[in-house]
A = this chain, B = another copy of it.
């Protein structure tokens, strides 16, 4: 793997990352395919068409169904879902702490109940890495605890210290697995994760500590889970400078177009978020001028595309009136078209951000775009 910063503007970086599954132009938005599929009937063929660079899948979900051993037997996640470009897998930690039933955290790892059938599962750093190795993703994430953003300081500090110890175990386990001849992807990369809730002193100490491991990339985790946008930006302001400058930074689970613009400005390279897919399934469509709600009666006879000039498969062919009708009739096709539009919007936004950085005009692009979105808030349904 090679990560090359092509250009900077303030803290914002325009970079390129080369992996065994191809090149990633950053800043990049990763499209979330939780169970090896994008919700809303979007296939990997569609992802290629709308310009997706990286697909993100969830370790926990794939472990419980169809099982990572099944995916491994089928040649790994790339082959299973027919996607040859980079894939990032999360560690399962977030789902274990947010989705799974009753859980018990120990130094070894976490025992919890499957959200599918309630059976007991144990997952620690070694298990998470083994699952991700079976999936054969391009980038694996370290197994961490993600404490709530507003958790007490007394809870957060020992949790973060344990996350550091877990990171060391993840590194050791991945090294072992990558050296085995029958490992799906022996070039699998590991990103470490910074935690610390909103306590910037804990965040900074942790960022320094994990930076010592010289990993191919670092994530900022535990944001967008209850704190305000201002708190999120403040954490980034304080923390990102203590992560290595020559490595990509991934802001996990973030966020709105405005969040992305602000975070790029603070040095972030990678993003992922369920907003575009979730909103697309619920008639909330992104445009340069803010979101519009297609359920609004004003769109009943509106034969314009969701956004004039948009190059997505929905806007190229279908009207607001038609997609609105489909969504009202609860036809899956309405959700599919909405998700295709929103994912295209996010991927295209990143392309516009990269172009602006290439041309040294990111600051003005960010300003204009934020102003245009705010303006529409008052005029859009």
Contacts and interface: CB of A to CB of B under 8 A. Distances in A.
A79 B75 CA distance: 44
Interface stretch (A14-22, A33-41, A145-153, A171-179): A33-41
**A42, A70, A319, A329 pick with most chain B CB within 10 angstroms:** A329
Given A38-B333, A43-B337, A322 B81 contact: yes
Contacts of A209: none
Contacts of A80: 319, 321-322, 325
**A40, A333, A334 pick with most chain B CB within 10 angstroms:** A333
A73 interface: yes
**A79, A82, A336 pick with most chain B CB within 10 angstroms:** A336
A76 to B, nearest CB: 12
Nearest to A322: B80
Contact of A332 (B326, B335, B337): B335
Contacts of A38: 333
Contacts of A66: 300, 321, 325, 328
Contact of A322 (B36, B39, B322, B329): B36
A45 interface: yes
A45 to B, nearest CB: 6
A300 B318 CA distance: 37
Contact of A326 (B37, B40, B75, B301): B37
Nearest to A81: B322
Interface in A44-69: 44-45, 65-66
A317 interface: yes
B303 A333 contact: no
A105 B328 CA distance: 30
B321 A37 contact: no
A37 B333 contact: yes
A331 interface: yes
Interface in A289-327: 300-301, 303, 313, 317-319, 321-322, 325-326
Contact of A318 (B41, B82, B321): B82
A135 to B, nearest CB: 13
Given A66-B300, A73-B301, A301-B73, A329 B82 contact: no
Interface string A66-95: 100010011100011110000000000000
Which 3 A-B pairs give the minimum distances between C-beta atoms? A41-B41, A41-B332, A41-B336
5 contacts: A66-B300, A73-B301, A80-B322, A80-B325, A82-B317
